[in-house]
Chains A and B, each alone.
Chain A
């Protein structure tokens, strides 16, 4: 669910102009590229990086929401949240699988994540302090993710596009789940309404940052757009998100923490204030409130689980050996 504008890519192509032109012609003809098809090394590398970042975001994304599974206020909310966090795990799994078709293994990608080298959506480095954060994440973060992900269903790389179709289908309940939580809070007691407003105040700007750096600063938008890995620019998607979300906030009776936010009649859109890009880059570079804790939690799960994975493999070998002995004896 949580793709973010791709950060940090810088690949040179070494293929012949003829090869690149033929590849571009396939893309321009809206042909899908499938795993074993010839493709420029940079196309492969960009995809591995983007799908990997996307998958890591899903996996890390399990943590802030998982933080509230044991404290959800009702059994209905508990079940919905658990199912949602489980879905994020599933989405990570589909995406890792898509990346694996490009020649990188899940183990490699996981090791990159737990070593702290991999990037993931920076929004998950913020803490979930109150129950309203679960509502705000579902509403805003999943809402932002949907803006990003729907176009990815038409991405030129077949396995990524197919994974995204599945993700988007499953995702449709996530944002509604979040908005419903916010709605209950907004209609509730003063304490509940305050909780909702506080969560919105804290999650609004990080949600806008989810779309990645502004178009001028994004290194790779152009090539990714030509290859139809990316269909819209970061700023285009961000604007779509703002336009969709402002009326939803009004319906809740909550205010957005941006004094510059105003309807632009001529442009048919909402204008919004300056995003704090220093904060964005600081969080991307590892200085968010919880970057280290998030990676450490996944590292612990991975390392604590090593003996389980080893045992499963060892047992599978024993089972296979016993089976072949049994067959030989027949």
Chain B
């Protein structure tokens, strides 16, 4: 077999219906964007799962390193003043 390279991997995002965001639903292999779009349609919307499809070459996704999790996300843990329950409002004020 002379085929040295592998056909690239793409990530597929589907909007189930208008009003909802596109959501990651899986991956596939495709040589070009049109092929990826069609494959996404053929693979991931066989049961009417979507009204809109995004495909993105997996290699183009920039992801945070899980090793950095503490550095990136722990600092947000103690900022409780960002949450509504931090503030004391008397009950007789009603829903706020």
Which residues of A from 81 to 133 have beta carbons under 8 Å from B? Answer: 86-87, 90, 93-94, 97, 100, 105-107
* Pair A312/B9 contact, Cβ less than 8 Å: no
Most-contacted residue by chain A among B1, B47, B65 (CB, 10 A): B1
The chain A residue sitting closest to B24, CB to CB, is A162
Q: Considering only CB atoms and an 8 Å cut-off, how many residues of chain A contact the other chain?
A: 26
Contact among B1, B26, B66 with A166 in the assembled complex (CB-CB below 8 Å): B26
Contact among B6, B31, B63, B65 with A316 in the assembled complex (CB-CB below 8 Å): B31
Which residues of B from 7 to 43 have beta carbons under 8 Å from A? Answer: 7, 9, 25-29, 31-32, 35, 43
CB distance from B90 to the nearest CB of A (A): 38
The chain A residue sitting closest to B35, CB to CB, is A312
Q: Considering only CB atoms and an 8 Å cut-off, how many residues of chain B contact the other chain?
A: 22
Q: How many A-B residue pairs have CB under 8 A?
A: 50
CB distance from A36 to the nearest CB of B (A): 5
Given A93-B43, A94-B26, A312-B35, the answer on whether A38 and B2 have CB atoms closer than 8 Å is no
* B-side interface mostly: loop
Complex CA–CA separation, A174 to B36 (angstroms): 27
Complex CA–CA separation, A93 to B9 (angstroms): 12
Contact among B6, B26, B27, B66 with A37 in the assembled complex (CB-CB below 8 Å): B66
Interface digits, A45-79 against B, CB 8 Å rule (1 contact, 0 not)?
Answer: 00000000000000000000000000000000000
Q: A37-B66, A105-B6 are in contact. List 20 more A-B contacts (CB 8 A).
A: A36-B63, A38-B66, A87-B46, A90-B43, A93-B28, A94-B26, A97-B9, A97-B26, A97-B27, A97-B28, A100-B9, A100-B27, A106-B6, A106-B29, A166-B26, A306-B2, A312-B31, A312-B32, A313-B5, A316-B31
